[in-house]
Structure 1
Amino acid sequence: MKRKIAAIFAADIAGYSRLVAEDEEETLRRLASYREVVDDFIAKAGGRIFNTAGDAVLAEFPSAVDAVRCAIDIQESLRTRNMAYPPSRQMSFRIGITIGDVVERDGDLLGDGVNIAARLEGLAEVGGICVSRAVHEQVANKLSVQFADIGAQEVKNIPTPVHAYMVAMRREDGSYNTPQVKKVSGKAASAPNWMWPLVVGIVSIVAIGVGGFLYFTKLETAKAPASAGAAPAAASSPAASTAAAAAPGPTPTMAAANPAPVPSPPAASGGKFPADMVPFIGERVRAYLSNEYSTAGDYKAFALNIGGFTGSALNQPNEEAARNAALEQCQKRADASQSPRRCELYAVGNAVVYAHGRPPMPPQPWVRHDTVTERRFASKDFPMVRDPAKLRLENMYVPAAKSRSVALSPGGQYFMVMGAPSADDSTRRSLESCGALAGVACMIVAVDDNFVVPIPTLLKITGFFHAASNASILADARDEVVRKLADATGWNAVAVGTAGRPGLGLKAADEQTAVNSALADCARRDSDCHVIGIGPFTVGPVN
């Protein structure tokens, strides 16, 4: 590992989950197109992308000037592209930039510089840019850019406020917009002196009233006979109430960064804890939850993150202490393994308070082994990810202990689980974590040393192939294609012509035979046929 100072650029799409939910395939196609624009500008400006996660991009630049100029070019270019779409379908990035001390490890960058850039991105307007004071000082006299000072901002998990500036973006007529100044952190304004006696008086009156009510209520309660069958209070000792219970640590996992949603308010505790429903965790942690955690009395809490890191606290003095202890233990474990995901409360007592529900999962079976199409795993052939991700797979997945697996989403997000007790455990956990990251069901691409789905090499992989919703195929013919592909083993290909009539090459012994058969079958029904799907992937011409 080595340290260095770099300008860190963080970007992601505003409202991406909503766009995917409304029209997944169109959103993913447009994301790929927009990412080409973003990547091209970054490369031309001398930047380097060091991490991606679906719609998020993290890049480093040798200078703040280059980073800001690149961000402006990206925003102006994408604004022009968005004009072709209605406001509800526009795809706009937020961008945050800072200068910071970072640690480089295996091509990835870690440290406060990366975290602050991500927080600044969250402060930016839709289609806008937010920079730190250090960047503003470097850029202010070197670029003809206007800024709005939004002051010191309290941001999540950064101990000191971050002084930030909004970049004024140019309008169509050449004028500049005025950024909306976000709420500035700081102490609330003091109340006028004349109000304090009034406030004290009101509080005193309320306190006397509440005290009297409780006193007389206690007298009435003391007179009443004890209720039969009342549940005994949970016992706790001073020693037990001071320590968090250590749940078994998870097998380390790796996932790309993505902003976490805000949890919903907790539900009331009660009932048996549903350990079988907890996602992201291995069997050791599940056994702990079924036994020690489930049977322990309050106050207790359990926290986790998408990477499978967990923390729990039993026999705490109150609910708040249990919450804090569980989150702290989980986050310490995640930070120690450089997990980019934040921990969230999953349960308080035996009540699940996790806001995100079960992650989307594909139908079972999750893996269909086929000796005709399976081949040795090779990082360079992993589909739909860029070179930094392939390098990470080579350095982390290939040498890792079994059982291990990698899941892939339609948008190119991926998640790997390594060192699991079984292939079933690793595939379930990688699908859960990948699905939670992407917001859509993922697909198992590799298990242990092999690719377990056909990996096309003759054409470029562009996404997941779903015949039932593929607009290239004539609507009346889609159900037939779905039916014929359902149980077809070996290599399979789908071709279409100008009229959308499909041709199929099924159960072939190799990729080339499947492609040739699909083209020949299509040519009998249509003209100008081309292949659109091979195995589980959509394909296009190789650039």
Structure 2
Amino acid sequence: MKRKIAAIFAADIAGYSRLVAEDEEETLRRLASYRQVTDDFIAKGGGRIFNTAGDAVLAEFPSAVEAVRCAIDIQESLRTRNMAYPPSRQMAFRIGITIGDVVERDGDLLGDGVNIAARLEGLAEVGGICVSRAVHEQVVNKLSVQFADIGAQEVKNIPTPVHAYMVAMRREDGTYSIPQVKKPAKASAQPTWMWPVAVTLVSLAAIGAGGFLYFTKLETQAVKVATPAINVSPAPSAVPAPTAAPTAAPDSKAATSSPPPAPSPPPIGSTEKFAAANVPFVSDKTRTSLAGEYAGARDFKAFSLNTGGFSAWVTAQPSEEAARTAAVEQCQKRADAAQSPRKCELYAAGDDVVYAHGKPPVPPLPWVRHDAVTEQPFASKDVPLTRDAGKTRFENIYVPGKKTKTIALGPGGAFFFFTAMDSVDEAVRRSLESCGAVAGVPCMIIALDDNFVVPIPTTLRVTGFFKAAGNAMISPEARDDVARRIADATSGWNAVAVGAAGRPGLGLKAATEQAAVNAALADCVKRDGDCHVIAIGPFSVGPH
């Protein structure tokens, strides 16, 4: 047997047994896909998987820095993949990392280092990372990562408490979460005389809470019964209308996107009246046709669409149910014929909007700003936040695609692009609407025709969208000022650096990316120490 010091990485899937019980085949299929992601990142970071069991993965790294960097890459990549599933079906890892003395036997590793990594994984949040103090000391000054000290934690089968830290994970908007302590350190023992008092108080509280919840439940049920579901059925015409053939709305000339869409919010009732100018995803020509043919048609009628821009409507149907069914079926046939992965859904029944998901999120205007200083020729390899498969799609479809064409990108890596559009305004609008529906948050136009229209960093790795107002790395009292100054700097390259105390330094309106970076660092060191760049242009950044 051989002893050595190694960084031990332990991961497993939160709620894995429940996911298997609900849908075994689908869970196992996705596990294989997600394991491919984790295995690739582990290998890329110089790690070695030494044990697996079901959903669990144990790996060793020669460097704590590489282990933490690998864990962050895995969590961010899987977070993007999970956006395609409803919360109840998302498959998220918890990861624990420590440095310890281990024994190697037949390729497997044994010892306290392995056990502690597994216990730290149990402390981690769903989709989060928990590390030991030894790892924190190795990493804190080498990676642009924030930690939350959760103190000494008593864990199963480890005789002494383990001092642990949570890694602050990046949100979709580029800001960082504040980790929550999952298991607090064991409290000191209370005097024996307090137990009867505590039991009495807990019992009284339970009785009171039970009574409150019981009556609250009755009130909630009464409200549900008293509130009718919105399902407007227009009165039939005095003269029966003839049955018309379904009318398929014209579709976009070319459209494509990132992998399957983000989970849709739960259905909600809508009181909005149909207006063709407000219909998302579809072309301007389709809106014009809807304004004339659909809006002026007699009941029963319905209109269906999907986020890729496919749509269909029917009019003069024998009943509302028939209209709803025919509209969705016709739309889905068109989508299937074009191999669109997006599901068609009912948007309007009669003159009422019944679409459950509301308007897709889009950013504030202007959606495109041209700046000769920062615009550069489009290159698929330079598109940030996207994996190799996405870059290949850009190269094979977007680059040779006809103008007008645009790419919209989300902060988590979701994207959507259209080619051969009739106008810039239509291309930009549709890309942002479809990308926003996929990502669940506003996207950004990064390319128009053959140029990047936002600054694309190359000196550092893009990690998300930068928003100064909510950025936890900047001291609270400075955030509004940083946001204001960046908003005023509408041309040239901008960069933001921060120091250990969160005091920011800015490099604004620079002629080059490197000049902005240098200016931000120089400004930061005037008022803080250990400065590093956290944003370039509209993006948050970190080390390559």
TM bucket (normalised to shorter chain) is 0.5 to 0.7
Q: Cα 1:359–1:281, aligned 2, differ >3 Å: closer, same or farther?
A: same
> Structure 2 matches for 1:188-203, cutoff 5 A?
none
Question: Which residue number corresponds to residue 241 of structure 2?
Answer: 236
1:192-341 residue pairs with structure 2 within 5 A? 233=238, 235-237=240-242, 240-241=243-244, 243-255=245-257, 256-258=259-261, 261=264, 264=267, 273-341=274-342
CA distance in 2, matches of 1:372, 1:500: 29
Superposition deviation, residue 288 in structure 1: 1.0
Quickly say closer, same or farther: Cα 1:57–1:246, change in 2 above 3 A. closer
2:523 paired residue among 504, 521, 524: 521
1:307: Cα distance to partner?
0.6
Partner residue of 1:472? 473
Quote the residue 1:356 is aligned against: 357
Task: Return the offset for 1:273.
Answer: 2.7
Q: What CA distance in whole angstroms lies between the structure 1 residues aligned with 2:268 and 2:467? A: 37
Q: 1:160-199 counterparts in 2 under 5 A? A: none
C-alpha distance in structure 1 between counterparts of 2:523 and 2:537, whole Å: 17
Match of 2:369 in 1: 368
Q: Distance in 2 between matches of 1:502 and 1:326?
A: 54
Q: Output the CA distance in 2 between the equivalents of 1:288 and 1:401.
A: 24
Q: Is the 8 A contact 1:82 1:91 kept in 2?
A: no
Amino acid at match of 1:541: P
1:55 to 58, 63, 81: 81
**1:467 CA displacement:** 0.8
The letter of the residue matching 1:274 is A
Alpha-carbon distance, 1:231 to partner: 9.6
Identity %: 53
Following TM superposition, by how much is the alpha carbon of 1:308 offset from its aligned partner in structure 2, in angstroms? 0.7
Deviations 1:214-255 (A, max 9, x none): xxxxxxxxxxxxxxxx99536422xx34x2122223333112
Query: Partner of 1:66 in structure 2?
Result: none
| C-alpha distance after superposition, 1:99-128 (max 9, x if no partner) | xxxxxxxxxxxxxxxxxxxxxxxxxxxxxx
Checking the alignment, whether the CA contact within 8 Å between 2:83 and 2:439 is kept in structure 1 is: no
Cα RMSD after superposing both structures: 3.4
Go from structure 1 to structure 2 and tell me whether the alpha carbon gap of 1:464 and 1:76 turns closer, same or farther (over 3 Å shift). Answer: closer
Q: What amino acid is aligned across from residue 83 of structure 1 in structure 2?
A: G
Corresponding position: 1:493 with 2:495? yes
Contact 2:457 2:513 in 1 (8 A): yes
Q: Is the 8 A contact 2:95 2:124 kept in 1?
A: no
Displacement of 1:41: 6.7
Residue 323 of structure 2 aligns to a residue whose secondary structure is helix
Residue pair 1:461, 1:539 contacting (<8 A) in 2 also: yes
Distance in 1 between the 2:515 and 2:393 partners?
Answer: 33
Q: Distance in 2 between matches of 1:41 and 1:530?
A: 26
Distance 1:378 1:275 in 2: 36
Distance 1:329 1:442 in 2: 29
SS at match of 1:342: coil
Q: 1-side partners of 2:311 and 2:393: how far apart?
A: 24
1:291 Cα offset (Å):
0.5
For 1:54, the aligned partner's letter is T
What residue identity is the alignment partner of 1:460? R
- What one-letter code is carried by the residue in structure 2 that aligns with 1:257? P
The CA deviation string for residues 110-153 of structure 1, in whole angstroms up to 9 with x for no partner, is xxxxxxxxxxxxxxxxxxxxxxxxxxxxxxxxxxxxxxxxxxxx
Aligned pair in 2 of structure 1 residues 285, 39: CA closer, same or farther (>3 Å)?
Answer: farther
Distance 1:75 1:474 in 2: 31
Distance 1:310 1:446 in 2: 26
CA contact (8 A) 1:303 1:326 kept: yes
| Count of residue pairs the alignment pairs up | 352
The yes-or-no answer on 1:401 pairing with 2:406 is: no
Counterpart Cα distance in 2 of 1:541 and 1:453: 20
Distance 1:419 1:533 in 2: 33
* Partner residue, 2:439: 438
1:67 maps to which residue?
A: none
Distance 1:37 1:423, change over 3 A: same
The aligned counterpart of 1:159 is none
What letter corresponds to residue 277 of structure 1 in structure 2? N
Structure 1 residues 514 and 418: CA distance shift in structure 2, 3 A = same
* Higher RCO (C-alpha under 8 Å, 6+ residues apart): 2
Q: For 1:55, give the aligned amino acid.
A: R
TM-score (norm 2): 0.59
DSSP-derived class of the 2:289 partner: helix
Mapped to 1, the partners of 2:413 and 2:124 lie a distance apart of 24
Give the Cα separation in 2 of the matches to 1:348 and 1:282: 20
1:505 to 504, 507, 526: 507
- Closer, same or farther in 2 for the Cα pair 1:340/1:471, shift >3 Å? same
Structure 2 CA distance for partners of 1:432 and 1:290, relative to 1, 3 Å: same
Report Cα offsets for 1:16-68 as digits up to 9, x if no partner. xxxxxxxxxxxxxxxxx9996475379989xxx9x99933499xxxxxxxxxx
TM-superposed CA distance for 1:319, in Å, is 1.3
Counterpart Cα distance in 1 of 2:529 and 2:94: 41
Amino acid of the structure 1 residue aligned with 2:422: P
Matched letter for residue 499 of structure 2:
G
Task: Name structure 2 gaps, 5 residues minimum.
Answer: 1-12, 16-33, 50-73, 85-89, 97-117, 129-234
Instruction: Please give the alpha-carbon distance, in whole angstroms, between the structure 1 residues aligned to 2:43 and 2:304.
Output: 37
